[in-house]
Amino acid sequence: MLERFKSNSGHVGVVGLGYVGLPLSIAFVEAGYRVTGLDIDAEKVALLNRDETYIRHIGADAIAKMNASGRFSATTDFAQSGDVDAIVICVPTPLKNGREPDLGPVLSTGKEIAKYLQKGQLVVLESSTYPGTTDTDLANVLEVSGLKANEDFYLAYSPEREDPGNADFGTSRIPKLVGADTPEALALSVALYEDVISEVIPVSSARAAEAAKLTENTFRAVNIAMVNELKVIFDKMDIDVWDVIDAAATKPFGFMPFYPGPGLGGHCIPIDPFYLTWKARQHGIETRFIELAGEINTDMPKYVVSRLSEALSIKGTKLADAHILMLGMAYKKNVDDMRESPALVLLELLEAAGAKVDFHDPHVPIVPMTREHSDLAGRKSVTIELAETADAVLIVTDHDDVDYDYIGDKAALIIDTRNAMKNTSGAAPIVKA
């Protein structure tokens, strides 16, 4: 198998064909591997096999090219996992209501794989999770097969580092960490990725790789919380936090700019720190700093609503009587990714306060089904022209393909959470939140 990986002639099974698994499948195929994509969602599988896409920043042409290579197939039949050399697991790791890790998708995937696991196969987990998941939780369900981890089959962890919509850093250009607990498993894992990813970095163990992933995203969550708190402080001092950050960023050492927003979104940053805090509690350790950062970021949508309410009241309008146009539902600019988007929370908070709310998002024509906001599923994007009649425009996501000059000219009031109006003209009053 090592020789097959080194010659890119191996056969890889990728489980979970979402924002991580689909671009990874494309990268493997482009490197010469055969890939079997496995997903429980029959609709996704059918779309892929018809050369269609369901992720906006991954075009249908990329899917068609992958299929035309003859080295890719998508299926819901997990029995096919028994025919591959390596199985890469890219399934979600969400939180339960009490902010506890939900390993359900990982463990259910492991149970399916165990039914067909073959001696000598390599299993790599890419899902973000707490240290110990790979060598305990996942290993235990895989060993139901009767095979022993790192004796009969090989087990490793390699954290995904996808940044959806980032044209500068696609899957193959982001350095890849790989951790395993035996030299053989590590050598196989490095060989699997080294001709697919520009740089593969082996680390001492699966747990070290799991911890590195949580460290990366906890670092971001904590720093974002800091600038969100500074935003609130500086607003009271009548200081623009965006100007402050830009000024501080001129220092060539000792400072790294992070930017405030309406709350955290995406699958990793709002979730990963709580995987770490949960695991720390198992060892009797309090994580006050990390949890405080989580609380600050979680409270940001409430702060935005309060700023909106204050701005409306100055104009003589109550929030309960207002019509609000939200710009952006995706969690970040230029993608259709709705995972953990603060826009969902904002919409619910505004409507709970009695406001009428519409949204415009060129990347999200309709709100998909989500775990925590199922009541919003099916809501449709409206035309941007509603900015002319709305009492306020709330900028939640700063997509590039929105005419902010038009918003500046036509809106009665703008609440800008992303500094999107920085270089625009127009007479509309702008409140940063």
Query: Residue 65 has what pLDDT?
Result: 97
**So what's the pLDDT on residue 115?**
98
pLDDT at 209: 98
Return the pLDDT at 354: 98
pLDDT at 166 over 90: no
* C-alpha to C-alpha distance for 249 and 256, rounded to whole angstroms: 7
Cβ atoms of 113 and 142 closer than 8 Å:
yes
Q: What distance in Å separates the CA atoms of residue 299 and residue 261, rounded to the nearest whole number? A: 11
For the record, the structure tokens of 293 come out as 């950062």
Question: How many percent of the chain have pLDDT more than 70?
Answer: 100
The pair of structure tokens assigned to 120 is 């000598």
For residue 151, the one-letter residue type is E
Sorted by where each starts, the structural domains of the chain and their CATH numbers stand as 2-204 (3.40.50.720), 219-432 (3.40.50.720)
- Between the CA of residue 414 and those of 3, 229, 299, 404, 411, what are the distances in Å? 60, 21, 21, 10, 7
pLDDT number for residue 151? 96
268 is catalytic: yes
- Do the bridges between strand 414-416 and strand 154-157 make them parallel or antiparallel, or are there none, so unpaired? unpaired
* pLDDT beyond 90 at 167: no
Q: What is the pTM of this model?
A: 0.94
Separation between Cα atoms, residue 213 and residue 273, nearest integer Å: 10
Q: How many CA atoms, within 13 angstroms, populate the side-chain half-sphere of residue 279?
A: 17
pLDDT tens-digit readout, 193-243: 999 999 999 999 999 999 999 999 999 999 999 999 999 999 999 999 999
Sheet holding 34-38, edge to edge: 72-75, 34-38, 11-15, 86-89, 122-125, 154-157, 176-180, 200-203
Residue 67 burial (10 A CB sphere; 0-12, 13-18, 19+): middle
Q: How much is the pLDDT for 268?
A: 87
Please state the rounded mean pLDDT for residues 291-320.
Answer: 97
Q: Is 171 exposed, middle or buried (0-12, 13-18, 19+ CB in 10 A)?
A: buried
23 DSSP 8-state letter: H
Structure confidence at residue 175 as a pLDDT band (50, 70, 90): very high
Alpha-helical runs (H) found in 52-181:
60-68, 104-116, 139-142
Distance CA 231, CA 238 (A): 10
Cα separation, 90 vs 375, in Å, equals 27
pLDDT of residue 98: 82
Which pLDDT value is given to residue 155?
98
**What whole-number distance in Å separates Cα of residue 82 and Cα of residue 70?**
20
Across the range 362-387, mean pLDDT stands at: 95
Does the pLDDT at position 183 exceed 90?
yes
Q: Summarize the chain as % helix, strand, coil (round to 5).
A: 40, 15, 45
Averaged confidence pLDDT in the chain: 96
pLDDT grade, residue 372 (50/70/90)?
confident
**pLDDT at position 75 over 90:** yes
Catalytic residue among 123, 268, 304, 312: 268
Task: Tell me: pLDDT of 97 over 90.
Answer: no
Provide the pLDDT confidence category of residue 165 given band limits of 50, 70 and 90. Answer: confident
Asked whether residue 8 carries a pLDDT value surpassing 90, the answer given is no
Q: Which residues pair with 38 in a beta bridge?
A: 15, 75
Reported residue count of the chain is: 433
Place of tokens 């000219």: 409
CA-to-CA dists, residue 357 to 252, 306, 326, 363, 428, angstroms: 43, 16, 7, 18, 19
